Structure 1
Amino acid sequence: MGTEKSFIDRIISSHYFQKAMEKAEAVFMHDKLGMLGLLQKALVKVQELAATSNISVVKLLNHYIVLFSELIKAYIAGTYKKLPAITLVKMVAVLVYFISPFDFIPDVLPFVGFTDDLAVVLWVGKSIKNELDEFEKHANV
């Protein structure tokens, strides 16, 4: 029996996600203003998606994108520093990946195009659930 990679493992080991991680590291380390622009693009994209769809997975995606954005903004502002930098870089990478129309499953494909985006958002969200809950309590998001 072979060892097949899971869907999320295939996405995070893909060229697309690796490029998102590289860009996230560069933006996180050297371009705070660029990071704020990235947050704005991600929020606009998820709001547009939420406005055109009423399905619960889009609402979940919207929740996490907004939460990640608020946490990153709080980190930049210096009001919340409880997460390690690598965790914040992963959140930024997810946002970079999310706004890119060409990724593991291109967003232009109806219905399935956001499957990979949702998978990486949930992967990060699940991996830091306790920290996100703590931030929500702290920030009253």
Structure 2
Amino acid sequence: MEKTKKIWEKAKKTAIDKDQIKSTLTTAGNKLKRLAENSNEWQELKSKLEILMRMIQAHLSGEYRSFPVSSIILIVFALVYFITPMDLIPDVIPALGFTDDASVVFLIVKKLNRDIKKFRLWEEEEWEQAD
């Protein structure tokens, strides 16, 4: 539980620093690529993380500002938890190492369901306008 508290504190600090958020996005993207290369079983986790990453990127760029601060912190927490190798179940443990990462991401995605739906609608409108 102590590790989760430390990750939460790091997420809160990261959420207010654009450079740290960008660094977290880069690290999460790199880890996500490695994870996706290693297994097809992680495709659902990959898609959940990708939407969270797009949400933060759109927020950072100023294109989409409809998130409450609490949602931004939760998204950053999910990303920081995902990239932290020594969380509740260390990532170096084969097969089990990413299960806690997946659990945290899925829990946060469920909690942010309304924000995600609104964001996806906004994305669809943006894509339609671009055509």
Output the TM-score relative to the length of structure 2. Answer: 0.90
Higher helix share: 2
Q: 2:4 aligns with which of 4, 8, 17?
A: 17
In the alignment, structure 2 segments of 5+ residues that lack a partner are: none
Superposed CA deviations along residues 56-112 of structure 1, whole A, max 9, x for unmatched, are xx1111111111111011111111111210111011011111101101000111101
Q: 2:83 aligns with which of 77, 88, 99?
A: 99
Superposition deviation, residue 121 in structure 1: 0.1
Q: 2:14 aligns with which of 6, 9, 27?
A: 27
RMSD, aligned CA: 1.3
> What does 1:38-77 align with in structure 2 at a 5 Å threshold?
38-55=24-41, 58-77=42-61
Question: Do 1:16 and 1:97's aligned partners in 2 also have CA atoms closer than 8 Å?
Answer: no
> Which runs of 4 or more aligned residues in structure 1 lie more than 3 Å from their structure 2 counterparts after TM superposition?
none
Q: Percent same amino acid among aligned pairs? A: 33
Aligned residues: 125
In the alignment, structure 1 segments of 5+ residues that lack a partner are: 1-13
